[in-house]
Structure formats: structure tokens, C-alpha cells
């Protein structure tokens, strides 16, 4: 069914501002900050995969080619908003203040990586598909009751829009008029299932209409447009306390995770055909053509990002593991008798071995 859904693009794949966009729309200093964040996210990505391949990190989900989504969304958020990320939003978390070491710890299987020093209210990474959508509705209800203008921002994949959790969250958000932004990162693949096989809806954005609120699309490889559209949506959400849905059109350039082999279900030619949409390359082109970025700037940025990543990786690798008994210590205010016995047994075995 054909439904007209707004689509926004400001910076094209060639790095040029679109003809229908007003002159002066691009703030070059802000664009440099977004570029820095995207390059840092991609450098982290490269290091994380290298650590996983050498057995020093757990299964990892790359954000290659999707850096504009996380960075753009997070740059549009306010400190009192709450981010509920899925597993490719490294850029969003870094912009929000999660440290590189914390990210490494999380992907290394250490829950201390979710104990953010910065954005204390933001949620940890959600690995199960779409289960954080109802959480976002709950957070939005709490923020509405609090009355201080915060919004819940959940980033989901296209596959999540096929799950019941997603529809339940949309329904309650619409019915209760909650300050929630459901941001769908449509990278065209739900593991091995292509977008075309996931839904007969012409767009994923139009699914919001059935829940009583608006949906729109944005070029997910255009960080300027993502930040602009997200900021506009959040302003409307705060003003009217009503939900909104944004579908970002992008492409997953990597395997689904390091446990996946995407060559089993898509061709190299298909993937390579999307490299001209690279969100980082288009920003760099824009900056260079505006005489706002030089070879020296690029080399300095790459060196700085690499230094930061290597320092964080060494901090992560040098972090002593938690004591085994800590698995019992953070669920109950008062540990039940059966778990107290198990904890005591574990300590006894450790004592016997040591």
C-alpha cells in the first residue's frame, strides 16, 4: 500500500548539500565534531574485531557503515533524555559519555562495562531483538510523570519491527501519549533475512500510523540529516508529549556479528555497491571541499583516535576479573537461603583450591 512518508537528506553521497536545502545549513564546526565521533567509532570497531579474532573479546557486532545513525541521534539528544541502545550504537554511546574502556569491558563479557561513569540513566546494550522497546515505553511514562521534559530514545534494527515487543511498545506509547522516539536503523538485513522478506509494508516508518502517531524516513548515511531530523522530532515530542518514529535508511556493511558469515546469503558485489554511500567519506568530502579539512587534520585525527583506542584496550586487558562470588551479590537486597548456601560453597571450593 502506497503511503507518503517524508524523507530527509541534507548531505548527499557525493558530499554536496542537496539543491533543495537552504544555504548555510551546514555548520562546519559542528560537522567536524560529528566527523570526529564517527571516526572514533569506526576505529573502535576495527580494534574490537581484532581483539575478538585473537580471543580477547566476546562475540561483537560491528557498526561499519552505520556510524551516522548513532552519532547523529546522540548529538541531537539532551542530557536528561534516556538512550536505550541495541548492539550497534557504539557511536551513540561514545557521544553520550560512555567510555571506550567501558565499551570494551561490555563486549568482553564484564558487566562493569554497563556501569557508566557518564550517562547514569542510559540503559545498557540490548542484545535480544526488540525487548527494549517496551522498556522505552516504561521509561517514557516515568519521564512524563517526572515532568522535566526528558524523552526516551530507543534505537532498533529493521528486524525488530517484526517483533511483537515493538508493536506493543508503539501501541502503549500512542495510547498514553508518551515522550518516546522509536528510531529504526534499517540496514536492510535482520541477520540473513533481507528487508524485502521481513514486511510487506512499503516503509517501516508507516507502521507508526496504526499506533496513532507520525513516522518519517531519513538518509541514515547522512549524519547532518539524522541529527536534524532527530532534533526536530525530540522538540515536537517534548512540546506535545507524544511519540514519534524515524526510519533511517542505511546498509550493514559488515557481517551481522563476528559469529556470522554474510557471504552465505549476500554477494560481495551487493555489499561493494554500497560503499559510495559511506557516511564518513561523505562528511570528509564535504569538509575538504569547503576548505575546512586538510591532510594534516586527517592524520592528526586518526593518530589521536588510534591512541585513545589503544589506551582503552590496554586498560580493558589489564582489568582484573571480578571475584566469582560477585555473581550472587547484586540481585537481592537480602540473599535467599539457597543462594547463600551456593555462595558459601563456592567460597569454600576457592579456599580449598588456593
Q: Is 256 a catalytic residue?
A: yes
DSSP for 123-143 reads PPP--STTTHHHHHHHHHHHH
Tell me how far apart the alpha carbons of residues 144 and 151 are, in angstroms, rounded to a whole number: 8
Q: How far is CA 342 from the centre of its chain?
A: 38
Query: Which ranges of 10-27 does DSSP label H, i.e. alpha helix?
Result: none
Which of 75, 90, 242, 256 is flagged as catalytic?
A: 256
**Helices 28-53 & 223-240, crossing angle to 10 degrees?**
100
Which of 75, 242, 252, 282 is flagged as catalytic?
A: 252
Tell me how far apart the alpha carbons of residues 16 and 230 are, in angstroms, rounded to a whole number: 21
Beta partners for residue 182, in sequence order: 154, 245
How are beta strands 189-190 and 193-194 bridged, if at all? antiparallel
Lookup: cell for 195: 528487508
Q: How far is CA 70 from the centre of its chain?
A: 5
Q: Is 274 a catalytic residue?
A: no
Count the Cβ atoms, other than its own, within 10 Å of residue 296. Answer: 8
Q: Is 252 a catalytic residue?
A: yes
Tell me how far apart the alpha carbons of residues 338 and 342 are, in angstroms, rounded to a whole number: 6
Closest among 66, 99, 93 to 77, alpha carbons compared: 93
Q: Which residues form the catalytic set?
A: 252, 256, 265
Amino acid at each position: 500500500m502506497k503511503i507518503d512518508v517524508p524523507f530527509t537528506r541534507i548531505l548527499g553521497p557525493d558530499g554536496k548539500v542537496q539543491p533543495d536545502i537552504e544555504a548555510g545549513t551546514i555548520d562546519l564546526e559542528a560537522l567536524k565534531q560529528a566527523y570526529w565521533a564517527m571516526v572514533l567509532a569506526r576505529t573502535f570497531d576495527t580494534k574490537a574485531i581484532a581483539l575478538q579474532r585473537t580471543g580477547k573479546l566476546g562475540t561483537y557486532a560491528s557498526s561499519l557503515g552505520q556510524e551516522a545513525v548513532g552519532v547523529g541521534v546522540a548529538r541531537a539528544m539532551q542530557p536528561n533524555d534516556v538512550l536505550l541502545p541495541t548492539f550497534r550504537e557504539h557511536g551513540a554511546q561514545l557521544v553520550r559519555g560512555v567510555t571506550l574502556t567501558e565499551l570494551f569491558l561490555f563486549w568482553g563479557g564484564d558487566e562493569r562495562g554497563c556501569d557508566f561513569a557518564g550517562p547514569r540513566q542510559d540503559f545498557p546494550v540490548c542484545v535480544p531483538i526488540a525487548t527494549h522497546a517496551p522498556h522505552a515505553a516504561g521509561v517514557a511514562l516515568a519521564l512524563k510523570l517526572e515532568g522535566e521534559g526528558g524523552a526516551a530514545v530507543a534505537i532498533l534494527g529493521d528486524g525488530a519491527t517484526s517483533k511483537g515487543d515493538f508493536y506493543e511498545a508503539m501501541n502503549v506509547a500512542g495510547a498514553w501519549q508518551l515522550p518516546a522516539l522509536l528510531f529504526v536503523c534499517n540496514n536492510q538485513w535482520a541477520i540473513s533475512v533481507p528487508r524485502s522478506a521481513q514486511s510487506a509494508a512499503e516503509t517501516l516508518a508507516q507502521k507508526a500510523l496504526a499506533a496513532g502517531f507520525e513516522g518519517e524516513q531519513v538518509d541514515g548515511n547522512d549524519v547532518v540529516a539524522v541529527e536534524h531530523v532527530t532534533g526536530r522530532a525530540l522538540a515536537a515530542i517534548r512540546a506535545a508529549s507524544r511519540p514519534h518514529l524515524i526510519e533511517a535508511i542505511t546498509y550493514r556493511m559488515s557481517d551481522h556479528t563476528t559469529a556470522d558469515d554474510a557471504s552465505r546469503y549476500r554477494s560481495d558485489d551487493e555489499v561493494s555497491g554500497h560503499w559510495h554511500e559511506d557516511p564518513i567519506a561523505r562528511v570528509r568530502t564535504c569538509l575538504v571541499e569547503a576548505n575546512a579539512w586538510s591532510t594534516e587534520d586527517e592524520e592528526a585525527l586518526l593518530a589521536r583516535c588510534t591512541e585513545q583506542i589503544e589506551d582503552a584496550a590496554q586498560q580493558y586487558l589489564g582489568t582484573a576479573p571480578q571475584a566469582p562470588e560477585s555473581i550472587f551479590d547484586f540481585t537481592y537486597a537480602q540473599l535467599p537461603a539457597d543462594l547463600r548456601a551456593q555462595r558459601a560453597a563456592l567460597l569454600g571450593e576457592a579456599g580449598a583450591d588456593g
